[in-house]
Structures are given as C-alpha cells and as structure tokens.
Structure 1
C-alpha cells in the first residue's frame, strides 16, 4: 500500500471550483499528519485548514471522486465532508422603547429575560469579572453596551472579527452587555471574546468552527457559546468539543429551531459535552419553534429578546440562539463566584436548580434556568472547627 501522504497529495485539488467540495481528513498518528502537510507543501498545495492537536487536514476535492483508497487506508482515522452549520436566530426587528413600570425585583436596564433567569440576584457576589467567554458566531460589532476583550476570524485568517450579520452581536449582548448604554446582559463584567466562524449569511464550515474551538483552548476561554447547528453529524466537531471539555471549558449550545417536528436536536447541542438549551416564552412555556428531543438540558427565554445589534443599535430577535447565551452568561457568573468550578459540576448545578415548568424533558429539559439559586453554597469556605481543651 502506498504511503498515505502520497495518496492524499494526488487526491486533493490546489484551489476550489464548481466541481470541488471541502473535505476533512483525520490522521491516526502525528507523524503521518506532519508528513502529509510536508507532501502537500511540496506539491504546492496549501490546506484550507489544519489542526495539529486533532491531526486534521481540510482540503479541496472533486465531488465525483469518492477517495476509496484513502477511506481504506489504515493510517486514516476518518474522512468527512466539511459541512456547514447555520445560526439559530430568527429575523430581527427594531427595538421600540416600551413604557411601563420596572418591577422592583428587576434592576434598571436589566431586560425581563435576564431577570427571569435570576442573574441579577447573584450580581452582588459576581458579575463575571475576568471570566473569559467566547461567542463563536458571526463576530461582534463595536457597541456602546459591549466591551470586547479580543477575538479572531477563522474564515479569513488575520481578518476582522467584527460582525457583518448582527446575530453574533445580539447573542453577545444577552451574555454580557455592560449596561453603559441601554441594557445589561447576564454577566456584565465578563471578559468578552469574539470568534468569527460564521459569515454574513450566518453560515460556517465545520473546519472553521473547529479552528475557533482550538483558538479558545489556546487563549484560556472558560465558557464558549455556540448558537448554531446542523442536523447531521461530524466526527471532527465532536473531537474538538471533547478536547475543549477535557480542558475544562463549559460548552453551551442552542437546541435548534425546528419545533415539534425536529426529530431531535441539532449538532453540537446533541453531543453530551455541551449544555443543550431550549427556548421559552415570556409565559414560561416552550417556544413553538424550539426543537424537541433527547438531550435537552435546560431552557431559557428565546422569544422577542432585546439585545445589542449592528451600528450601535438594539433589536429584538427570537430563536434558541437567544436562549443559549443566558446559560453561557450564567455559567460565567458561577465561575466568577467559584473559579475552580468544574464544567460538569456547573452543568449539574444549572440543571438541579432549574425551575420546573410544563413541557417535559424532551422540550425543556430540567426546566427554566435559575442562575442565583445554582450558586447556592458556592465560594463559601467552611471554617475549621476549634477543639476545646
């Protein structure tokens, strides 16, 4: 059998065309990964993406060629099409100021949805200061109510991580709006990072998502929000999530917007490494569009949610995309109270203290997110008992 690097270099194409597609190749050994990259470079072929940690190489391939020899090669772990995910947000509408009293239990500038999940009662103890949260999305736009600590663009290496869609900026505000302008997010003092892996249409390749997760691991991100998904499966994405979880990152994902007929959750929410989030209405009922199925962990508001948007404006959007950052922001607050809190323990607390609401586990999981109760007993040091003489 020919060396895997030779077969791969003869199978790929140097540039995209109408007849090509992107494919992800996973090598079993690091040595084979390095030799493949060297062979491709010698042939004048630059991979679309590569991941040293996961031994992944993404290249262009002719759609009609099945790569039979590569699929059967013992040095190949798997090969998959570089599929696309889509943002889980529905259309945005302009935000009109609503008159009326602000309830005493809801602080000024805190929208109803932030108060509904009980984030403000925890703010005297933690507003998330210093806890790094990444919004893996369409980017984040400059906004009076957002402080962006940094970020990256995995679509165009070295490119801007500014938002050219609006979805990522809206999600970011729900998680971490500062209140300097009009609204407060769930974790107003979080260290907010923009990882632009979705384009202006709200779509992104799995390889771009994987690279974004790799970046988060390398830059000490503690919580990742993923308000996107796809109905299929991806071994590459699952491998990236497993690695992130082993590094202690809390992974939050939106369930999907396919309603009762969804037949299950989208990926990555379907994977057990994530906290899968469904959407609820202002009446604490599951939203009609929220996907149902096995694996939902928790629910949060996702209908007509006010948040930050492009050009310094505000907008209302719906979708499980809007629900997930409530949980991400809540996870930031918990780690602000207890920095050493394990990812699994954080997820367990969020589920345990959720408010039981109608719908059943396949629709709302453990119930409605309740952040402050989930912090019960966290960050409290027990005093050593004194022995009497």
Structure 2
C-alpha cells in the first residue's frame, strides 16, 4: 500500500508542477507591458518606436522584438519578459521530456512474446524484494475492473489478470513494484501418434526390477491434462486443477494419463513405468483439447514449488514456439527449490532453441529416438518415424537438448482404464522424468543439477559399444546428447 500512495503523490506533484509551468508561460504571454494599438494603416518602425518611447521610459526596458499579428496589429515585447518566457518554455520542454521518458520506461515493462496471445489477458511479475503482497497489488487491479484468476506466491511473485480497459494495464505498468508484464499465451500438449522403450533404456536391469518389486519412494508432478483416477496402474497421490470450469484433475483428454503410465505405471496388468508405483501428483493445466494458457501453467508450477519438499521431479510434455520470461522465471525458482524439471523438446523437427520451455538451460530437455526392437545396434526394422536407433524425424534437436529417450511406438496407460501405443517427444520425456525420480529415490540429497549430470553421464552415445542389454549406439546427426540408460542404477 505504501508504494501505491507514493505513486499517487508523485503523480499529483508532477501534474501540479506541469500546470504551474504552463500557467506561468501563458501569464507572461498575456501580460506584456507594451502593446501597440491597431492602426488603419501599417505603421513604419519609427511610428512604433515613437509611440512606445513614453512606455519604455516608465518601464526602464529597451525594445528588442516586434511581431506582426494576423489583424495588422503590432506587439512590442520587453527583453526582461522575453527572458522569463524563454525560461518558462524551457521548463515546459524539460517537463515534457521527463514525461516522455517516464512513459517510455513504463511501456518498456510490457514484454513482447512470439506466440499466439490470449486477448486481454496478462501475466504480471513483481520485483524481487517487494514487501507488499501479490494479493494486495492484485486487489488494486481488481478495484479498477480487472479479473484475477491466479495469484502467484512461490515460483514467482505476481498474478494473472484479465482486463477490458487499457487504463487498468497502464496503472499496473506504472506501479513501481512491477518488474514486467507479458501477454498470456496459448500452449498445446505435444501431439501423439498411434513398447519397446522400457527395455531399450535398461529398465529390466534396474534396481526396481526384481522378484519383489517395490513402489519407488518419490513424488512426481505430472503437469498436463490430468490423470485417470480410476486406472489400476497409477498411484494418484494428490490432484489439483487450474483449468477454468473444472473442479478436479481427472483426465478428460488422455495425454496426461499416457505420460503418467510411462513415468510410474505399477505393472499390475498391461504396462510398467520407469519408477513403478511412485506417488503421482496430478496437476491439470490443459483442457480436454490439450490446450491451456501460460497463466494456468505457471499456477501449476507455483503449486509444485509450494510443495517442493514432497515433489522430486516434474514432467512438462507440452510447449510452444514462443518466449516467456515469466515461465522461465517460474521454472528457475522451482528448480532452485529442489525440483528436477523434465520437458519434451517438441515435435516440429527443428532446433529446440526456438521452443519454450525446452530451451530453458535449467531443465532436462528430451528428444525422441526411434526404436523398433528394444535392442541396441540399429539392426531392427525401420519405423514410421525413422530407422531403428536414430533420432525420430519429428523430434526437435540441437544444443538445447539434454538427452534422448525412446519416443516411437510406446505402450502406456490411457483414459478409461485402457492402454495405447503412442509416439512423440511427449512420451520420450516421461522416461527421463521417471529416471530422475528413481535416481533421487536412491540419492535423496541429490540436487536437480546433480540428477541431470548423473543421467547424462550414464547415458549411451554413438560411440558406446552395444553389449546386448540395450546399452549403446544412438545415431543422432544433429547433436551429441546421450540416450537415457538406467541399467546401472543401484541402491545407495
């Protein structure tokens, strides 16, 4: 509230000063001591000087300038008053310059995004160290007609807002507590196409595969379309929805349930995950069409950050060809809180540096490999999306990609307690998310950076000798990222 009062006082003072300067300038113009009378003829300079001598003696000032009016009148100005006018005009120009600079500074807070924006919706991020609560600042915007669906207090400090008036937006931009504002944008779950993946990454050899399998002691956030609560393979521990018009995170699309199965299916009936039986946090941010807003996604990440003590890894199998400082800030703060973020690189077959959140340097960005036989060596038959053991033709690639995982013909869980076979980086990322959670369960004090480093160092590369257990040989002409391999994981 203190910052708001300061803004009001400074604005009022600026208006008063400006009005004073303007009124002074006009006063000087309208109150010159000498003004020639209107003549029926145009007088010469001698006429003017002669008629003005008496007035000049009285004022003690010399004549310096003569201006001709549009009605043939003549005005004789005094040098003392002229100096005062010039000074007032100079002050007015300075005030205008300051006003323009202030306007430019305010407008610079509004970030541009390269994506499809949602009309009249914005994400407001407050400065670090602001003492006033995000709720309080958001309430000020509400009092001016804004609608605030989300207030962020953990991953970032700020709020999402819907506005109908530009005046509301300008008032937010003028608030000194605001760091920046960016338009809300649409985000889409990466598409799936209709598994040998578990074997290919060494799942059967990992420490969780034995005669007495146990549930992996880890919490995993599935930030997606939700999870099918009734599926017999999935251990849904907690759920929350940030999609308007929904009250639960029960999956009405299928994407989130497919992701969850690859991460942690228990293997009771028809599928087994990388971290079987792990505690799944169903966080719904995408609707039944697989679409969501950036503001909803950030609210989901804010929730994860709030519960960072119970969540080891988070999976994001969506993205956009866009840039979002708000999303990057939220993820970075959540990683700093101890959560490992794994994201799909994208299915456009292009450089992942153009995509968000795949390009964030603090996440594990996952490309998809085409595999047809669950074995290394590249000897299996070609798949629809490329030769065996090669980068899938749809997969994004490049220096921003951290690691690869199987992403073609992956068998997993689906809504309606069913199963499906899917392809995409959306189903490659969950392999790595499960591996991150598994590693963290074996090394509880590991930081996200240490988890990332371990997965990369243990992975297979093109130079890794194929030894028959799935470990080795990955052909990626676009980069040197390794293929995920968890066969060497052991109890700590």
Residue of structure 1 in register with 2:226 after alignment: 139
1:152 paired with 2:245, answer no
Counterpart of 2:303 in 1: which secondary structure? helix
1:320 paired with 2:425, answer yes
1:278 paired with 2:278, answer no
Report the CA distance between 1:3 and its aligned residue: 5.8
1:255 paired with 2:342, answer no
Counterpart of 2:461 in 1: which secondary structure? coil
Does the CA-based 8 Å contact 1:23-1:80 persist in structure 2?
Answer: yes
Residue of structure 1 in register with 2:182 after alignment: 80
CA deviation map 1:245-303 (0-9, x unaligned)? 111111100000011x4463521111011000000011211000001222111000001
Report the CA distance between 1:336 and its aligned residue: 1.7
Does the CA-based 8 Å contact 1:217-1:244 persist in structure 2?
Answer: yes
Is the alpha carbon distance of 1:34 and 1:215 closer, same or farther for their aligned partners in structure 2, counting shifts above 3 Å? closer
Report the CA distance between 1:196 and its aligned residue: 0.5
Kindly name which structure, 1 or 2, has the bigger radius of gyration based on alpha carbons: 2
Is the alpha carbon distance of 1:264 and 1:46 closer, same or farther for their aligned partners in structure 2, counting shifts above 3 Å? closer
Residue of structure 2 in register with 1:384 after alignment: none
Does the CA-based 8 Å contact 1:140-1:163 persist in structure 2?
Answer: yes
Counterpart of 2:122 in 1: which secondary structure? strand
Residue from 229, 249, 256 that aligns with 1:161: 249
RMSD value, Cα: 2.9
Counterpart of 1:178 in 2: which secondary structure? coil
For residues 142-221 of structure 1, the aligned pairs below 5 Å read 142-156=230-244, 159-219=247-307, 220-221=310-311
Q: Separation in 1 of the partners of 2:357 and 2:6?
A: 30
Counterpart of 1:237 in 2: which secondary structure? helix
For residues 234-383 of structure 1, the aligned pairs below 5 Å read 234-259=324-349, 261-262=350-351, 264-282=353-371, 283-357=388-462, 358-360=474-476, 362-363=478-479, 365-373=480-488, 375=489, 379=492
Q: Separation in 2 of the partners of 1:331 and 1:299?
A: 13
Report the CA distance between 1:138 and its aligned residue: 0.4
Q: Separation in 2 of the partners of 1:221 and 1:230?
A: 25
Report the CA distance between 1:34 and its aligned residue: 4.3
Does the CA-based 8 Å contact 1:174-1:185 persist in structure 2?
Answer: yes
**After alignment, is 183-192 or 272-281 more displaced?**
183-192
Residue of structure 1 in register with 2:100 after alignment: none
Is the alpha carbon distance of 1:63 and 1:330 closer, same or farther for their aligned partners in structure 2, counting shifts above 3 Å? farther
CA deviation map 1:70-113 (0-9, x unaligned)? 5465432111011121111324x4xxxxxxxxxxxxxxxxx421
Does the CA-based 8 Å contact 1:128-1:333 persist in structure 2?
Answer: no
Counterpart of 1:217 in 2: which secondary structure? helix
Give the structure with the larger helix fraction. 2
Q: Separation in 2 of the partners of 1:74 and 1:164?
A: 42
Counterpart of 2:296 in 1: which secondary structure? helix
Question: Normalised by the size of structure 2, how large is the TM-score?
Answer: 0.65
Q: Separation in 1 of the partners of 2:369 and 2:145?
A: 52
Residue of structure 1 in register with 2:149 after alignment: 48
Q: Separation in 2 of the partners of 1:186 and 1:242?
A: 25
Counterpart of 1:80 in 2: which secondary structure? strand
Residue of structure 1 in register with 2:316 after alignment: 226
Residue of structure 2 in register with 1:27 after alignment: 126
Q: Separation in 2 of the partners of 1:5 and 1:40?
A: 14
Does the CA-based 8 Å contact 1:265-1:292 persist in structure 2?
Answer: no
Is the alpha carbon distance of 1:120 and 1:77 closer, same or farther for their aligned partners in structure 2, counting shifts above 3 Å? same
